[in-house]
Structure 1
Amino acid sequence: MRERSHRVAIIGAGVVGCLVAYGLRECPDVEVICIDKGPPENELAGTGLNVGPNSLKILRQFSPELADSLQVEGVSLPWESWVAGITDGTVIFDLPLSQVAENAGIRIRWAELYRQLRQPLGDRIRYNTIALSMGYRDSDRLYLEIENQETGIREAFEDIDLIVGCDGRYSQVRSSFFGGSPTPEHLGVCLYRLLVPQKGGLIADYQQWFYNGSRLLSFAIPGDEVYIAGSFPLDASLEIRDNQKTVEYLRQCYTPPPGLSPVCQFLVDAVCEHLEEIHWARVQDIPIVFGDEGGRVLCLGDASHAMYPTLGQGASQAFEDGCYVGALLRQALQESLVDFPALVARLEQVRRDRITFVRQFSREASDSLLAGSHPVAELQAKTQPAFLAKLRRLYQDTPLLAEALTLG
């Protein structure tokens, strides 16, 4: 502990990095170095996403202004229901989220989400900037060297109190302080995503359609576009073969003997018409890390706990991380003395328990994505009290910021 102003480095200005930086923006004695390798207006940032009710619940406690900005008409659409069934149009369940959540979620474009979260930070983020090196000088001093990729200008910072790794699944912070790149655990599922134009209002709120282990997930977002996330099982090699990236293969993945419903016909046609735009990926998660041994490095979001996307909790847990850590860091850094290792340990204790539950639940909910699955039975199980109780826990049991701050 040292009696002086503090210096915090945030690596990555995605969801969680922006929220932590937002929490610290009014701490006058704290220098915040926030960098991001991308440009300010990242129009290529993903496609679309659904932000869970739990995200909006904790965000409203953290910053009502930010929560309001994300729910403006034209920025997002409400996520209020979850429909799931078979690709022939048979509906297995139609769940209003009001039965399991205290508030709705939202459907939004990634680029718009970034724009809304970054706008209040202004020039506090150094864009197009990468970390060249980082590490410990001694037990309580960190250093960071960065470079602007447009200008080539380098800057070096010493006496950093805390480095917060918010730089995603392939985190440089994690690699630098936690023994290299993590070994992922593969689910055995190929996943792809795209945005396509809406057609006749066929797609509205969140819906999933299955045939054997193949799934089509879709919802509308502002701009009269439809987000589609398709998946199909992989064999034991875990390879996505070239013949699986074809119109013929994809049509047979999703088409049941009775034929496709109009909604699923639209989705399959849209996927096949936009094959060249698809990025193919394998569903995987990585072991959880939070604080390093020195207690002055903290990984958050996908850098800490990239998980199976089945319940859409990747970004939602980034919101929880950012709001909780941003609020507690803000409170701690307003004091003249901060025990950073103790603070990091406290943050980890709360978040690890929550993340462990969410990851396990996401794995359990992935049963209908696997080879040999039985979607009707598995979807029916998701209408039962045991699954719905876990959904309530997922959407409602976020950290209570007011309570956490009073324990400070």
Structure 2
Amino acid sequence: MSKPLRIAVIGAGVAGCLIVRGLQQLEVEIFCIEKGPEENLLAGTGLNVGPNALKILQQIDPELAAALQTAGTSLPWNSWKAGLTDGRVIFDLPLLQVADNPGIRIRWSQLYRQLRSHLTNVYYNTTVVEMGYTHSSAPLYLVVEDQVTGERHQFHEIDLILGCDGRYSQVRQTFIDTPQPAHLGTCIYRLLVPNTPQLIDDYQQWFHNGSRLLAFSIPGDEVYIAGSFPIAADLVIPEIAKSPDFLWQCYKPQQGYSQVCEFLVTAICENIEQIHWARIQEIPPAFGDARGHILCLGDSSHAMFPTLGQGATQAFEDGCFFVAQVRRYLAHQRNFSVPALVESFTATRRDRIKFVQQFSRDASDSLLAGSNPITELQAKTQNSFLEKLRRLYRDTPNCD
């Protein structure tokens, strides 16, 4: 290319931040548009980041990988334990049996803080008003609006727009399609509560029929809780299901709750006003547009069922692999084609995402109405499932 590659990143989430961090010191003109504030202290609750994310991040940004794993920022995710709400343990897996390194447990706001540190050319509190193709050799433009001042600004001569703006992506809807979600038939909600009386440590799940509790501790002596239960075919979450009485009975076994599960359900019932209710869903993957100057990454490309915790983790993979690919193109092909870059990325990521989405879907069997959690959890101790976990956690894209 005769001039530096000009990239517009829409969304300063996981993939967007990784790309800006990885390319801002190269001969690339890159800027990012983010609708939210820089210091998003209220972002989400907590999340577990998979071993595969840290493995690929170590190759691309070892400084960030180290920062994310420091004491006080995150806790290591070393094991995955699952059983029943009466306390019986059926599945207890040290992650190093299937991964090359641990994952982490972290608060969303802390993750954002680390990702956004030292970023340049990010326009926070800014929304995209218009974007599209022109007829020039650098074919894209953007019109954005500052949500604080109301001022508008135009960007021209853009070679590539990256949609990193989530499952309801404006980029994808403008240039590719409006994806139709596929629903699991399950309600999910999340909560952060104090870890009192110190009953929760590493990643654990408890099941009763098709209802599930998930919890792990994060720094700050807090516990992240994700609860789920099946809903009817109409996919409506009934108002009665948002009541303490319903939730108390939802997970309750005949033998009564274990101490840990009683703590979790009590915390849920006492903090219902803090809960955001959602439905588990995925969208069909889409990467680039027909003209080859648009690329979607993360949830905008392939939002998936959260059962294996791969949503943010695959955004790590997307962002890191894109950075590696651009670095490789710049090092070896000074006059490369943007559509060729987009197609190369898509060709590599398509099969990986197809596998991860399908594996996440298959692993969701115990979240369905009429499920048999004992049978389904025992199946997850078998080699066929463990081999897929090894592939998930170890077979990250090649960034050399």
Equivalent position to 1:67, from 65, 68, 84? 65
Partner of 2:133: 136
Distance 1:354 1:163 in 2: 22
Cα deviations by residue, 1:256-312 (Å, 9 ceiling, x for unpaired): 010000000000000001000000000000010001000000000000000000000
1:7 is the counterpart of 2:6 = yes
Aligned to 2:191: 194
Matched residue, 2:393: 395
Is the 8 Å Cα contact of residues 11 and 164 (structure 2) preserved in structure 1? yes
Aligned ranges 1:62-101 → 2 under 5 Å: 62-101=60-99
CA distance in 2, matches of 1:193, 1:333: 42
Q: Where has structure 1 moved over 4 Å in runs of 4 or more?
A: none
Q: Which amino acid aligns with 2:184?
A: L
**What is residue 58 of structure 1 aligned with on the other side?**
56
1:157 Cα shift?
1.2
Task: Name the counterpart of 1:116.
Answer: 114
What is aligned with 1:374?
A: 372
Question: How does the TM-score come out when normalised to structure 1?
Answer: 0.96
User: 1:234: which partner in 2?
Assistant: 231
Distance 1:236 1:399 in 2: 38
Shift of 1:3: 1.3
What secondary structure is seen at the aligned counterpart in 2 of 1:187? strand
Change beyond 3 A, Cα 1:139–1:360? farther
| Contact 1:194–1:227 (8 Å) recurs in 2 | yes
CA distance in 1, matches of 2:301, 2:361: 17
For 2:15 and 2:134, how far apart are their aligned partners in 1? Answer: 27
Counterpart of 2:317, as a letter, is E
Task: Name the residue aligned to 1:290.
Answer: 287
Kindly provide the CA deviation profile for residues 310-362 of structure 1, in whole angstroms up to 9, marking residues without a partner as x.
00000000000000001212332455312000110000011111000000000
Equivalent pair of 1:60/1:67 in contact (CA under 8 Å): yes
Cα displacement string for residues 191-215 of structure 1 (whole angstroms, at most 9, x for unaligned residues): 0001000012100000000000000
Name the structure 1 match of 2:307: 310
Q: Equivalent residue for 2:348?
A: 350
Residue identity in the other structure for 1:100: V
Distance 1:320 1:120 in 2: 21
- Aligned pair partner of 1:244 in 205, 230, 241: 241
Aligned to 2:103: 105
What is the match of residue 204 of structure 2? 207
Instruction: Give the structure 2 partner of residue 170 of structure 1.
Output: 168
Identity of aligned residues (%): 63
> Quick check: 2:51–2:393 contact (8 Å CA) kept in 1?
yes
Q: Deviations over 1:168-227 (max 9, x none)?
A: 011000010013x21100000000001000012100000000000000000000000000
CA contact (8 A) 2:128 2:144 kept: yes
In structure 1, C-alpha distance between the alignment counterparts of 2:171 and 2:83, rounded to whole Å: 41
Unaligned runs of 5+ in 1: 403-408
Greater CA drift, 371-380 or 152-161: 152-161
Question: Please, which of 319, 328, 332 is the counterpart of residue 329 of structure 2?
Answer: 332
Q: Is the alpha carbon distance of 1:139 and 1:346 closer, same or farther for their aligned partners in structure 2, counting shifts above 3 Å? A: farther
Instruction: Return the TM-score normalized by structure 2.
Output: 0.98
Letter aligned with residue 282 of structure 2? D
Structure 2 gap ranges (5+): none
After superposition, give the CA deviation of every residue in 1:80-138 in whole Å (9 maximum; x if it has no partner). 000000000000011100110010000000000000010021x4211001111111113
Q: How far apart, in 2, do the equivalents of 1:316 and 1:174 lie?
A: 20
Indicate the residue corresponding to 1:321 in structure 2: 318
Contact 1:139 1:294 in 2 (8 A): no
Kindly report which structure 2 residues correspond to 1:272-291, keeping only aligned pairs within 5 A, or say none: 272-291=269-288
Match of 2:33 among 35, 40, 45: 35
Superposition deviation, residue 44 in structure 1: 1.2
The residue identity in structure 1 corresponding to 2:156 is E
Is the contact between residue 136 and residue 157 of structure 2 (CA under 8 Å) also seen in structure 1? Answer: no
Partner AA of 2:225 in structure 1? I
> Comparing 281-290 with 322-331, which one deviates more in the overlay?
322-331
Asked if structure 2 preserves the Cα contact closer than 8 Å seen for 1:10 and 1:35, the reply is yes
Q: Counterpart in 2 of 1:20?
A: 19
* Secondary structure of residue in 2 paired with 1:322: helix
Number of aligned positions between the proteins: 398
C-alpha distance in structure 2 between counterparts of 1:95 and 1:139, whole Å? 55
Contact persistence 1:84–1:92 (CA under 8 A): yes
**C-alpha deviation, 1:35, in angstroms:** 1.0
For the residue of structure 1 that corresponds to 2:17, the secondary structure is helix
Contact 1:324–1:401, Cα closer than 8 Å, also in 2: yes
How large is the Cα RMSD of the aligned pairs? 1.0
**In structure 2, the residue corresponding to 1:120 is in which secondary structure?**
coil
Q: Does the alignment pair 1:48 with 2:33?
A: no
Quick one: which amino acid aligns to residue 361 of structure 1?
Answer: F
Find the counterpart in structure 2 of residue 271 from structure 1.
268
Deviation at 1:153, TM superposition (A): 1.8
Instruction: For residue 139 of structure 1, report the CA deviation from its aligned partner.
Output: 7.5
Which whole-Å CA distance do the structure 1 matches of 2:335 and 2:347 have between them? 21
Q: Please show how residues 147-158 of structure 1 align to structure 2 within 5 Å.
A: 147-158=145-156
